[in-house]
Chain A
């Protein structure tokens, strides 16, 4: 892992400049200025937008405030996807800053999960970590950790502390050298063009004949449409 540290850092500190604008039909007492933020790619929208909420609350009446949700060009944004995934999925061709619309009414029940508190985000985050470890190590690493270790992972993410997070996450990323990789590689291929939100299957890091799989191998098997035709 040690030699990856610079890459891990660069991924962790990836930021997306974003402009939050209040939805035009929201009722305000005075004009709502847009709000600008640098969003961490690895975090969750509802975890890093307290300031956005406070900013717009100031110009709105209490009775007009329901649960805050976000939308980009008509698509409700799923807070439970990492911010980087949302941006790449919906807005990778857009000019920066990324322009997100903020709503306080008409929560799209079918499309979005509710996020009443940070503990809901934490539960979601931990369940992702657990599922990944179920694939990587049959859940043995995460289950052997203590409650405070789980908390450290979460606090590392919540407070944007790279070292705190990776001191613990390192254990989740280890595997015995002789096995050449995890049991299965946790991955999801997100797609926008289908009701089905993502593709997720079992994928071994090493083929039966001992050759190490690449990302290209994975895409070829799971989502051949992503491979340009002329490559063959």
Chain B
């Protein structure tokens, strides 16, 4: 639990808060009034629809999900329609521009379709723990947080430190280019993650090579049945060879997240929740500040997965509060989220079978 809070601090300190990067964990003298303020913020009750306005993608996503429910078995009814997908991507890309996080929207020539794309250059043969440091992709975390902070985290988390150091030592090979594409699958009515990695001279990395950069929690799952989860497939829009995280269980993955958001009247950006949840399988992480997307200014929280599979139901303000150490791990709301998350860890359907 404590490690969890530390990770948040680091991560959130990342993008635009260099100054407060190291002052976080020690300030645990919880100030009750802020905590209760937070309570009211996170449970604003039944909010007026107008509150979210165009920002509130989650509500749109959810109403369309309900619409596609049809009669059949209610359990399988959580679809993302293409228009909502595009809107969610647009907001995601906007936020990425603000963060300089590298995502863009690519139109396909001669059609009205497109996809979200990011390319990351990793300095070494393998990137140091991209999943934990809150950088948005392999290699970038160092640029954002600075080497010093990476070191610090290693010291704090002995469990990880050993293996990671070993990897750092062996990192002498050439830079690696990672490429991530997010496409819409009309068959599954869900987003799909396509990815590949290559050396600068164009030699593609095997899936096994790429796994070196995947967070250990995920790596273990992948090893259990890699080809059930990830296959090499042709990119349906540009015809090249990519690895694909198969979308057939995406709805199962998203169901509890969407249900929780709906029950608590929280808005949510489908792409943020989904990508932050599945991205680590491909050594991609989504900085926590994406949690702001889809939220009306610091009021409506959204849900983000951290790389350690912890759901964070947070607003920007709450993130600030956590970063300042004002929320204790005993906070009932936080506890509840963590409980939800434990179930997630156990039940997250990554595999197709």
The listed residue with most A CB atoms (<10 A of its CB), out of B188, B204, B241, B352, is B241
B-facing mask of A198-219, CB < 8 A → 1, else 0? Answer: 1011100000000000000000
Q: A110-B241, A139-B76 are in contact. Are A200 and B236 (CB under 8 A)?
A: yes
Stretch at the interface among A5-13, A83-91, A126-134: A126-134
Would you call B30 an interface residue if the criterion is a C-beta within 8 Å of the partner chain's C-beta atoms? no
**Chain A residues touching B, majority SS:** loop
B188 pairs with A196, CB closer than 8 A: no
**Chain B residues touching A, majority SS:** loop
Would you call B108 an interface residue if the criterion is a C-beta within 8 Å of the partner chain's C-beta atoms? yes
Would you call A114 an interface residue if the criterion is a C-beta within 8 Å of the partner chain's C-beta atoms? yes
Kindly identify, within residues 217 to 249 of chain B, every residue whose CB is under 8 Å from any CB belonging to chain A.
227-228, 231-234, 236-241, 246, 248
**Cα–Cα, bound, A140→B241 (Å):** 29
Kindly identify, within residues 128 to 176 of chain A, every residue whose CB is under 8 Å from any CB belonging to chain B.
130-132, 134-135, 138-140, 147
B248 pairs with A130, CB closer than 8 A: yes
- Which of B186, B203, B248 meets A202, CB within 8 Å? B186
Closest to A81 in B: B234
Would you call B111 an interface residue if the criterion is a C-beta within 8 Å of the partner chain's C-beta atoms? yes
- Which of B108, B203, B352 meets A196, CB within 8 Å? B108
CB neighbours (8 Å) of A140 from chain B are: 72-73, 76
**Cα–Cα, bound, A124→B232 (Å):** 9
Would you call A57 an interface residue if the criterion is a C-beta within 8 Å of the partner chain's C-beta atoms? no
Q: A109-B204, A124-B231 are in contact. Are A134 and B188 (CB under 8 A)?
A: yes
CB neighbours (8 Å) of A147 from chain B are: 353
16 A–B pairs (Cβ distance < 8 Å), ordered by A: A109-B203, A112-B241, A113-B232, A113-B233, A114-B232, A120-B232, A123-B227, A124-B231, A127-B233, A135-B187, A147-B353, A195-B109, A195-B239, A197-B236, A198-B236, A200-B186
Beyond the given A120-B231, A134-B248, please list 17 additional residue pairs across the A-B interface where CB-CB is below 8 A: A78-B234, A110-B240, A111-B239, A111-B241, A114-B241, A120-B227, A123-B228, A124-B231, A124-B233, A127-B246, A131-B187, A131-B188, A140-B76, A195-B238, A196-B237, A198-B236, A200-B186
* Residues of chain A having any CB pair with chain B under 8 Å: 78, 80, 109-114, 119-120, 123-124, 127, 130-132, 134-135, 138-140, 147, 186, 194-198, 200-202
* Residues of chain B having any CB pair with chain A under 8 Å: 72-73, 76, 108-111, 186-188, 202-204, 227-228, 231-234, 236-241, 246, 248, 352-353
